[in-house]
Structure 1
Amino acid sequence: MQLTGFPRIAIDPGICGGRATVVGTRVRVTDVLEMLAGGATPGEIAADFPYVTEDDVRAVLAYAARH
């Protein structure tokens, strides 16, 4: 299920135990946040995970800020 106000973030009980993920992937919001905390840039994350865009990374940050 996509979240209202966060079209790039989904929560599905059948994917990653119902934890928030980037839509269409199994990349958890927490994974992206940990990479950013470790010093990775949005561009580096997108390069390492080609199915995640820099816009997805920004959406993760917006979601985390809200929650």
Structure 2
Amino acid sequence: MKKINRITFDQNIMGGRPCIRGMRVTVGTIVGLVASGHSKDHILELYPYLEREDITQALRCAAWRADELELPLVT
């Protein structure tokens, strides 16, 4: 799997939700924009402080998390 080094998790930023480079832009926000049909170029116009690789890694992170399995703990 390629690196996901631009996605951060910090309890003090957006309640620990996955964000892009410690900013208050969540992976969910970017995924939602892409799912709504916005192009990477348009997203970069809306968020000029983001970079194209930020969007790519947000999508990669979302795909990775969607593929995770949650198993109940057995005591």
- Cα distance in 2 for residues equivalent to 1:65 and 1:29: 11
Instruction: Determine the structure 1 residue equivalent to 2:31.
Output: 33
Pair member with larger Rg: 2
Higher strand share: 1
Following the alignment from structure 1 to structure 2, what is the Cα–Cα distance between the partners of residues 18 and 50? Answer: 23
Unaligned 5+ runs, structure 2: 66-75
**1:11 aligned onto 2:12:** no
Counterpart pick for 2:52 among 51, 54, 63: 54
Q: Structure 2 length normalisation: TM-score?
A: 0.79
**Inter-partner Cα distance in structure 2 for 1:24 and 1:10:** 6
* AA of the residue aligned to 1:57: I
Instruction: List structure 1 runs of 4+ shifted beyond 2 angstroms.
Output: none
Q: How many residues were matched structurally?
A: 63
Structure 1: gaps of 5 or more residues = none
**Partner amino acid, structure 2, of 1:36:** V
**Partner secondary structure for residue 6 of structure 1:** coil
- Kept after mapping to 2: 8 A contact 1:25/1:51: no
